[in-house]
């Protein structure tokens, strides 16, 4: 729930590789339709897919050749900073030029990366169109860079083109593209309206952390589109749904990076105001469903907005965020197989770092991160330390990245939040759903905080449901690890939507079909 944007490119795959590289051989490129990222392209024949949109030649254990082709619902300016840490950079490199293909205009970068005595050259190209940025990245050993640049990188730039969307599947409801305003910000979304005789109840969907589009698309981490699934199921049940691109994402204007959870609450409030003006909507039966951080945003709205009729919190926080973040780090590290020593080191670091971030003491935060990073690298094996290259430079870079992340307005606001305080002041019906295998919002920790808050506030109409085998995305999970998200069935557990619909139908009036 706290990812701002995790691109997932295997840019510096050298950490798992030794010295040396295979030399370029003839490369055969074959057409490929990437339904996950929404484009047609070429891919090298025989290269192995190691992650969504990422292929490696892997002709030997020391082969550095990697090709990544992905897209994200962000501008190029917002996306590039997410890539830089994976290249060992703290600021954007100078572009080396542009390249125009039949479909896209590319901005080009060439970066030499050195770690642990290993050097590679990286070609990077970004092309932005219609609120989405397309990425092509080629990593190669310096001695074969020219050959792979000519035989792979350039042909891929020529071939990659956004897919022409197929006609929408016939659905038993109306689908309308809409915009609405929050001050000088224009938010763009999709309104799905059931084909009923009278005004319908409605749900506004609020996304989790990080810049999200209206479907809460999670590419490249996973192909699941949670909000598209929710909107379809609810609208088929007679309930209208409004979902929208976050500010600064997709077709919405505004600056995402400068916003806090409180700002996102004003965006959701604007969505409610818009729905109240629609004759197809029952203005007395408009509620909010928030996922992850969106659940916290819903709790803010539940206190401040009298127009909300009900709230559904899906894997939403209730515990104090600092405590939630400590538990989140502990569970994620455990799921990744980290040692007890490494976990305790990270938790001790966060206990000191959070107050420094909140107070704005960036100098102390940078020093703390630098010293902690040096201590944590000392716990690694010799092979792991060698792979990091210059440990001093690595620690300095980690410190700069920590300040850039933890000292943002969003994170500082987030860390001071105690969602239970808001939940205790909410009187409308609330459904809170958690996943028993969720490593991001721990069910046990947050169910206890939620129930205590609701009981303290005296709200008689709340329900808590925990699905034991569900992860943070409400997928049927094995361990709950973040690494599973893209490997599991890309849909919800079967019980989720019937549970939500049954709860809603007991509290709203659904009109007869027209």
Q: CA 314, 318, 322: angle at the middle one, nearest 5?
A: 120
Tell me what pLDDT residue 16 has. Answer: 36
Question: Edge to edge, what strands does the sheet with 132-140 contain?
Answer: 48-51, 54-56, 66-72, 132-140, 118-129, 105-115, 97-100
Q: In sequence order, what are the beta bridge partners of 185?
A: 182
Q: What are the φ/ψ torsions at residue 46 (nearest 5 degrees)?
A: 90, -10
120, 140 Cβ separation under 8 angstroms: yes
Q: Which residues contact 514 (CB under 8 A, 6 or more apart)?
A: 195, 196, 197
74, 246 Cβ separation under 8 angstroms: no
Can you tell me the distance from the alpha carbon of 342 to that of 333, in angstroms, rounded to the nearest whole number?
8
13-162 CATH choice from 3.40.710.10, 3.40.1000.10, 3.40.50.2000, 3.65.10.10: 3.40.1000.10
Alpha helices in 237-282 (DSSP H): 261-276
Q: Is the pTM of this model over 0.85?
A: no
Tell me what pLDDT residue 407 has. Answer: 87
Tell me what pLDDT residue 486 has. Answer: 83
200, 280 Cβ separation under 8 angstroms: yes
324, 442 Cβ separation under 8 angstroms: yes
Distance of alpha carbon 127 from the chain centroid: 20
Q: What residue spans in the chain does CATH classification 3.40.50.1820 cover?
A: 173-320+417-505
Averages of pLDDT over each 10 residues, the chain, 514 residues: 36 36 69 89 91 79 83 84 75 93 95 77 93 92 93 96 76 96 98 94 96 88 91 98 95 94 98 97 98 97 96 98 96 90 94 95 95 92 77 87 88 96 98 97 98 97 98 96 89 98 97 86
How crowded is residue 273: how many other Cβ atoms within 10 Å of its Cβ?
Answer: 15
Task: Provide the CATH topology of domain 173-320+417-505.
Answer: Rossmann fold (3.40.50)
Tell me what pLDDT residue 149 has. Answer: 96
Token pair 């999709």 in the structure block, residue: 190
Alpha helices in 222-292 (DSSP H): 226-236, 261-276
43, 36 Cβ separation under 8 angstroms: no
Tell me what pLDDT residue 11 has. Answer: 36
290, 271 Cβ separation under 8 angstroms: no
How crowded is residue 26: how many other Cβ atoms within 10 Å of its Cβ?
Answer: 7
Can you tell me the distance from the alpha carbon of 291 to that of 138, in angstroms, rounded to the nearest whole number?
35
Q: What residue spans in the chain does CATH classification 3.40.1000.10 cover?
A: 13-162
Can you tell me the distance from the alpha carbon of 432 to that of 450, in angstroms, rounded to the nearest whole number?
8
- Residue 231 token pair: 């909107």
The secondary structure of residue 476, as a DSSP letter, is: B
């Amino acid at each position: 729930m706290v990812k701002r944007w995790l691109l997932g490119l295997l840019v510096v795959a050298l950490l798992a590789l030794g010295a040396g590289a295979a030399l370029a051989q003839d490369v055969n490129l074959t057409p490929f339709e990437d339904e996950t990222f929404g484009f047609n392209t070429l891919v090298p024949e025989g290269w192995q897919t190691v992650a969504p949109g990422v292929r490696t030649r892997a002709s030997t254990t020391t082969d550095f050749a990697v090709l990544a082709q992905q897209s994200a619902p962000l501008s190029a300016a917002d996306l590039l900073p997410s890539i830089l840490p994976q290249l060992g950079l703290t600021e954007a490199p100078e572009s080396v030029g542009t390249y125009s293909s039949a479909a896209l205009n590319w901005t080009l970068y060439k970066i030499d990366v050195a770690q642990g005595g290993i050097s590679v050259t990286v070609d990077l190209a970004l092309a932005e169109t219609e609120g989405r940025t397309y990425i092509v990245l080629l990593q190669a050993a310096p001695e074969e860079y020219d050959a792979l640049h000519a035989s792979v990188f350039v042909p891929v730039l020529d071939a990659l083109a956004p897919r022409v969307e197929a006609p929408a599947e016939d659905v038993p409801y109306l689908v309308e593209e809409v915009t609405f305003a929050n001050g000088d910000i224009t938010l763009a979304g999709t309104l799905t309206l059931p084909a009923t005789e009278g005004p319908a109840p409605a749900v506004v969907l609020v996304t989790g952390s990080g810049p999200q589009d209206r479907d809460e698309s999670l590419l490249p981490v996973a192909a699941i589109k949670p909000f598209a699934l929710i909107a379809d199921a609810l609208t088929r049940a007679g309930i209208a749904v409004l979902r929208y691109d976050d500010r600064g994402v997709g077709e919405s204007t505004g600056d995402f990076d400068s916003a806090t959870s409180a700002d996102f609450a004003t965006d959701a409030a604007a969505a409610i105001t818009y729905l109240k003006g629609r004759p197809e909507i029952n203005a007395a039966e408009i509620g909010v469903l928030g996922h992850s951080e969106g659940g916290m945003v819903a709790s803010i709205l539940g206190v401040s907005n009298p127009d909300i009729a009900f709230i559904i919190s899906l894997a939403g926080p209730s515990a104090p965020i600092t405590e939630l973040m400590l538990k989140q780090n502990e569970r994620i590290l455990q799921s990744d197989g980290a040692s007890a020593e490494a976990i305790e080191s990270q938790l001790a670091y966060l206990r000191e770092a959070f107050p420094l971030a909140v107070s704005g003491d960036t100098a102390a935060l940078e020093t703390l991160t630098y010293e902690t990073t040096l201590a944590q690298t000392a716990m690694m094996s010799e092979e792991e330390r060698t792979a990091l290259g210059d440990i001093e430079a690595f620690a300095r870079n980690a410190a700069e990245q920590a300040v850039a992340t933890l000292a943002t307005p969003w994170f500082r606001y987030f860390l001071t939040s105690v969602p239970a305080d808001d939940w205790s002041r909410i009187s409308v019906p609330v459904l809170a759903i958690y996943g028993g295998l969720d490593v991001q919002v721990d069910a046990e920790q947050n169910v206890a905080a939620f129930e205590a808050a609701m009981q303290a506030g005296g709200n008689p109409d709340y329900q808590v449901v925990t699905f034991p085998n569900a992860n943070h995305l409400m997928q049927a999970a094995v361990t709950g690890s973040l690494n599973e998200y893209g490997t599991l069935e890309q849909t919800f557990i079967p019980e989720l939507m019937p549970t939500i619909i049954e709860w809603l139908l007991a509290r709203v009036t659904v009109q007869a079909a027209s």
